[in-house]
């Protein structure tokens, strides 16, 4: 995983609640055994017509949102099945952060383990961010993991909560195994003390 420190980006507004993992990545894409190309299937049923042509009214097909690394969505984002592929699709597309009022538990934990930062903020704040991104797609927001804040162009800051262990892992770009491997010297020293 890449370390997550500070992200400054435009945001893609998706004013939809209860977005489930099958909508994020339809089941037909789950036969893949690697993350390669998973971003191509992101929101596939919403992004494309049956003939494969892009639906121009879908937010990710609008040119002003193509470079966004932040996705803003409604309540209960990532509900449904426990498929990790949903996170892979979001990161494969290029998102580094999803902001929503709340997340489904399994999706939230899968995100943290795969380098995608889920940021829960109060619903009124999320609605304000959705309004800003819709009114001015060039709006830049700054997501700072160390300070656990989202900062708007006018200087407004909104703080979010995150588990301390997961914060360390994201800051250092480590998954669970990587974190254990980073402690190899300390583990070896401890084992040597026990043996003595």
- pLDDT of 58 reads 97
pTM of the model: 0.91
Picking from 14, 16, 18, 15, the residue whose alpha carbon sits closest to that of residue 104 is 18
Q: Report d(CA 183, CA 41) in Å as an integer.
A: 37
CATH class of 6-195: alpha beta
Domain ranges of the chain: 6-195
Sheet holding 97-100, edge to edge: 11-14, 70-73, 97-100, 117-120
What are residue 117's DSSP bridge partners?
A: 97
Strand extents, DSSP E, 60-164: 70-73, 97-100, 117-120, 141-144, 149-151, 157-159
The residue that leads in pLDDT, 176 or 39, is 39
Checking DSSP bridges between strand 11-14 and strand 70-73, what pairing results, if any? parallel
- pLDDT of 180 reads 67
Res. 44 pLDDT band, cuts 50 70 90 = very high
Picking from 19, 101, 102, 99, the residue whose alpha carbon sits closest to that of residue 58 is 19
Residue-wise pLDDT for 158-194, tens only, equals 999 999 999 999 999 987 777 667 777 777 777 778 8
Residue-wise pLDDT for 107-124, tens only, equals 999 999 999 999 999 999
């Amino acid at each position: 995983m890449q370390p997550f420190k500070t992200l400054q980006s435009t945001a893609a507004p998706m004013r939809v609640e209860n977005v489930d993992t099958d909508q994020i990545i339809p089941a037909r894409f789950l036969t893949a055994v690697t993350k390669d190309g998973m971003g191509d299937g992101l929101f596939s049923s919403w992004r494309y017509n049956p003939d494969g042509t892009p639906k121009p009214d879908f937010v990710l097909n609008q040119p002003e949102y193509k470079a966004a690394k932040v996705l803003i969505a409604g309540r209960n984002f990532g509900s449904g099945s426990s498929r990790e592929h949903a996170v892979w699709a979001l990161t494969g597309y290029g998102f580094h952060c999803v902001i929503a009022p709340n997340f489904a538990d399994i999706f939230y934990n899968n995100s943290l383990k795969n380098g995608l930062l889920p940021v829960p903020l109060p619903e009124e704040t999320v609605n304000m961010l959705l309004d800003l991104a819709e009114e001015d797609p060039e709006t830049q927001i700054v997501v700072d993991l160390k300070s656990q804040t989202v900062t708007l162009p006018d200087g407004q800051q909104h703080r979010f909560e995150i588990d301390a262990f997961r914060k360390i892992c994201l800051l250092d770009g480590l998954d669970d195994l990587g974190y254990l491997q980073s402690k190899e010297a300390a583990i070896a020293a401890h084992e040597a003390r026990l043996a003595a």
